[in-house]
């Protein structure tokens, strides 16, 4: 279930060690890109990572009841979260710390990190208590 750390994506998976969500950014286009890649697909410039707020909105989600791995309890929520920094900047992630039945698209979420050795997986929890 854990990502392969490579040179291109490592800042995304390790920023949580210091509580930071880091997203690749093109200085020429002044835009964020995710998932990270070696160069900007629009202008070919090198990308650098910037620390973002960690705030976003749940764009869409699915609740998974199928057990893929004995260490991952079900049900769990697989989601696309749109980050506040830029329209369309979406991160594939999990929604945690809430009842999956109470999750709704459009709800505000905030990042937190699940530590697995050197990897800090960015996941999101409701920004406000769910009613």
Closer to Zn ion by CB, 19 or 27: give it: 27
Q: Which of residues 36-55 bind Zn ion (CB under 5 A)?
A: 40, 42-43, 45
Quick check: 97 binds Zn ion (CB under 5 A)?
no
Quick check: 77 binds Zn ion (CB under 5 A)?
no
Task: Give the H or E element holding residue 11.
Answer: helix 10-14
**Three-state DSSP class for residue 18:** helix
Please work out the total of residues on this chain that contact Zn ion, with binding judged by CB under 5 A: 7
- 4 to each of 1, 26, 57, 118, how far by Cα in Å? 10, 23, 26, 11
Binding site for Zn ion (CB under 5 A): 26, 28-29, 40, 42-43, 45
């Amino acid at each position: 279930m854990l990502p392969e750390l490579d040179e291109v994506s490592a800042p995304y998976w390790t920023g949580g060690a210091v509580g930071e969500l880091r997203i690749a950014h093109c200085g020429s286009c002044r835009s964020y890109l995710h998932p990270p890649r070696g160069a900007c697909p629009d202008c070919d410039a090198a990308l650098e990572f910037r620390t973002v707020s960690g705030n976003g909105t749940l764009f869409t989600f699915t609740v998974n009841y199928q057990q893929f791995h004995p260490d991952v309890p079900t049900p769990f929520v697989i989601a696309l979260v749109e980050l506040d920094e830029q329209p369309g900047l979406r991160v594939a992630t999990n929604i945690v710390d809430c009842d999956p039945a109470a999750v709704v698209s459009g709800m505000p979420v905030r990042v937190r990190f699940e530590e697995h050795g050197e990897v800090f997986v960015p996941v999101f929890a409701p920004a406000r208590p769910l009613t």
